[in-house]
A = this chain, B = another copy of it.
Amino acid sequence: MALRHAVLAALLDEELSGYQVTKAFAAGVANFWHALPQQVYAELAKLEKEGLVAGREVVQEGRPNKRLFRVTGEGLGELESFASAAAKPAFLREDLLVQVQAADHLDADVLIERLTERYAFAEAKAALFEEQLRRMRGGLDEAEFLLRGASRVGPYLTCRRGRDFERANRDWCRDVMEVLRARRVQVREGD
């Protein structure tokens, strides 16, 4: 039941529409949680009914009207009690890990295709995160920003975790490919 808290956390620093929240949670750039648009809209409706967020209609010209949401005092309380309870650690749950687990029984070429794809994805996502971090830092170097920066450090720290996660995925893909290629050569020499 952490989606509700993720949505609340996303709304802490600025008033956003459901659409903007879904963009923050978009598959490619989600830095601290992931959710589909349908989930976000449903969760916002629930949160509003419970008084944890408040929405206001904004009439627009040239594009559809929208509803902007902000976190209420009760909403912040909900987040506080969420942070007071022990967080459940997450597990790695990647299709690719299952495939590599079976590596010794599968065709190496097929696996290398999968690893190449994942490598590219991880590289691209890490670059996106890196770009976001650069923008958040502004002109400051990281230590300076984290210690004395005026802006919020929470989003920066979660984004950094996202970047490092994808870097680790990238490096792992690279290493696994190296091993598979080396062993394939090994097998040929053994013939």
Residues of A within 8 A of B (CB): 2, 5-6, 8-10, 12-13, 27, 30-34, 76, 79-80, 82-84, 86-107, 110-111, 114, 117-118, 121-122, 146-148, 152-155, 157-158, 160-162, 164-165, 168-169, 172, 175-176, 179, 182-183, 186
A13, A84, A101, A161: which has the most chain B beta carbons within 10 Å? A101
Known: A83-B106, A102-B12, A148-B186. Contact between A165 and B168, CB under 8 A?
Answer: yes
Chain B residue contacts of A92, Cβ below 8 A = 32-34, 90, 161-162, 165
Smallest Cβ distance from A26 to chain B, in angstroms?
11
- In the assembled complex, the Cα of A76 lies from the Cα of B106 at a distance in Å of 9
Q: Is the CB of A164 within 8 A of B172?
A: yes
Q: Is the CB of A33 within 8 A of B106?
A: no
